[in-house]
């Protein structure tokens, strides 16, 4: 078990600017991973093996993309007990993202708003970091790599960026996620529309299948979608998913809705809202996807998981696996085994 209760460190971290706290935490994890210092947060992984998309997951709890954008801390984060870790979003070229400040806490609602904008060091640095990870994978952990487009790339050329990223990461990924749902890159969510999504999935799955000849394996492809979709849009996305050899869907990214946080400090900040306020919205999308896609299509549920009961609710809504991010910031590493135990068969 972790030697330092998160309750002792959270007040210090929450006294800092959110992005500064985030950077300090990742720096510490990067420095201490795979050293005796990792015992400060390490804990036993809950065993609950499941096979999805041809991958053997040690348990059903994963870390959502966005926390470790550059893939620096896979081993350290994996030591918290995750069955799978998703890192990124990476873009072909490094980019600074949006101007600071761009991350805001809303503690009264266990929420965050961010408008980071795919800030990352670029594909070459990302791949080098992923290749350095060793202990998490050696212990059976699954690593997903999340890819996107550069802000400077016109939306009509977005596919070029996804293909460039796929070419780079495929050899190093257990699975690859196409992020078309961040609200912080201009026009990105337009890729969720019928014709654009059909074209993107057609191009990316064709390239993935071509790469399989070289790699000797077919890398699973997942699509990450937004919570801000109506029933018709969800049905259309589900239909398009079934037309292509896509291996799963992640529901959902952050929301642009503010109904649940109106009147709170920072509630009017632009960006994606995560945490407790997106819990029900993501569950609604999960339920609709499960109804449209049927029992066998892999769904990863993410959004507002703050407890084991929340993780179980995602499962009951139709998710096969569950990811956390904002819950880790508010609850700390203890949330990981709590959620994993909640998803074990009863």
Domain boundaries defined on the chain: 6-342
pLDDT tens digits for range 161-212: 999 999 999 999 999 999 998 988 988 898 998 899 999 999 999 999 999 9
pLDDT for the residue 5 = 84
pLDDT surpassing 60 at residue 121: yes
- Beta-carbon count within 10 A of 65 CB: 27
Please, which pLDDT band fits residue 150 given cuts at 50, 70 and 90?
A: very high
Q: What is the mean pLDDT of residues 220-237?
A: 95
Say whether pLDDT at 1 is over 60.
Answer: no
Sign for the pseudo-dihedral over CA of 189, 192, 193, 197: positive
Catalytic residues, by residue number, are 182
* Per-residue model confidence (pLDDT) at position 184: 86
Residue 103 has pLDDT above 90, yes or no: yes
Query: pLDDT at position 166, please?
Result: 98
CB 50 within 8 A of CB 164: no
The confidence band for 234, taking pLDDT boundaries of 50, 70 and 90, is: very high
Mean residue pLDDT of the chain comes to 96
pLDDT at 7: 87
CATH number of 6-342: 3.20.20.70
Percent with pLDDT over 90 in the chain:
95
Is the pLDDT score of 15 beyond 90?
yes
pLDDT average, residue stretch 146-167:
97
Average pLDDT over residues 221-235: 95
Q: What's the pLDDT at 280? A: 97
pLDDT at residue 120 above 60?
Answer: yes
The tokens for 122 are 């670029």
The predicted structure's pLDDT at residue 240: 96
Higher pLDDT, residue 53 or 7: 53
pLDDT in tens, 307-331: 999 999 999 999 999 999 999 999 9
By the 10 Å C-beta count (0-12 exposed, 13-18 middle, 19+ buried), 294 is classed as: exposed
pLDDT of residue 135: 97
**Cβ neighbours of residue 38 under 8 Å, at least 6 residues apart?**
32, 75, 76, 79
CA atoms within 13 A on the CB side of 193: 9
Residue 162 CB contacts under 8 Å (≥ 6 apart), including other chains: 147, 148, 149, 178, 200, 203, 204
> Would you place residue 16 in the very low, low, confident or very high pLDDT band (cuts 50, 70, 90)?
very high
**Residue 2 binned pLDDT confidence (cut-offs 50, 70, 90):** low
Q: How far out from the chain centre does Cα 239 lie?
A: 23
Q: Which residues, 6 or more positions from 52, have their beta carbon under 8 angstroms from its beta carbon?
A: 248, 298, 320, 321
Residue 27 pLDDT exceeds 90: yes
Question: What is the predicted pLDDT for the residue at 194?
Answer: 86
Query: d(Cα 312, Cα 322) in Å, to the nearest integer?
Result: 9
Q: What is the pTM of this model?
A: 0.97
What tens digit of pLDDT does each residue of 40-68 get? 999 999 999 999 999 999 999 999 999 99
Q: What is the pLDDT of residue 3?
A: 62
């Amino acid at each position: 078990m972790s030697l330092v209760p998160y309750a002792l460190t959270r007040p210090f971290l929450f006294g800092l600017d959110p992005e500064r706290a985030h950077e300090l935490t990742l720096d510490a994890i990067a420095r201490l991973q795979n050293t005796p210092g990792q015992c400060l947060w390490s804990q036993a992984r809950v065993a609950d093996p499941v096979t999805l998309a041809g991958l053997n997951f040690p348990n059903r709890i994963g870390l959502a993309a966005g926390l470790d954008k550059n893939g620096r801390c896979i081993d350290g984060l994996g030591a918290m007990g995750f069955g799978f870790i998703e890192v990124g979003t990476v873009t072909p070229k490094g980019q600074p993202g949006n101007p600071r400040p761009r991350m805001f806490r809303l503690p009264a609602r266990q929420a965050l708003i961010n408008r980071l904008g795919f800030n990352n060091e670029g594909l070459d640095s990302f791949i080098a970091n992923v290749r350095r990870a060793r202990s998490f994978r050696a212990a059976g952990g699954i690593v997903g790599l999340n890819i996107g487009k550069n802000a400077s790339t016109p939306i009509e050329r977005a596919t070029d960026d996804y293909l460039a990223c796929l070419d780079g990461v495929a050899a190093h990924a257990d699975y690859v996620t196409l992020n078309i749902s961040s609200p912080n890159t201009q026009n990105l969510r337009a890729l969720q529309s019928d014709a654009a999504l059909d074209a993107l999935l057609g191009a990316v799955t064709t390239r993935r299948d071509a790469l399989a000849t070289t790699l000797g394996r077919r890398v699973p492809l997942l699509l990450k979608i937004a919570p801000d979709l109506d029933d018709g849009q969800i049905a259309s996305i589900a239909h398009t998913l079934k037309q292509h050899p896509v291996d799963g869907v992640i529901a959902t990214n952050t929301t642009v809705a503010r109904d649940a946080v109106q009147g709170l400090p920072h509630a009017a900040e632009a960006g994606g809202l995560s945490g407790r306020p997106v819990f029900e919205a993501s569950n609604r999308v999960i339920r609709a996807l499960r109804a449209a896609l049927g029992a066998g299509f892999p769904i990863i549920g993410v959004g507002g998981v703050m407890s084991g009961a929340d993780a179980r609710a995602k499962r009951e809504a139709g998710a096969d696996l569950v990811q956390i991010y904002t819950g880790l910031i508010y609850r700390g590493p203890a949330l990981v085994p709590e959620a994993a135990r909640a998803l074990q068969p009863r």
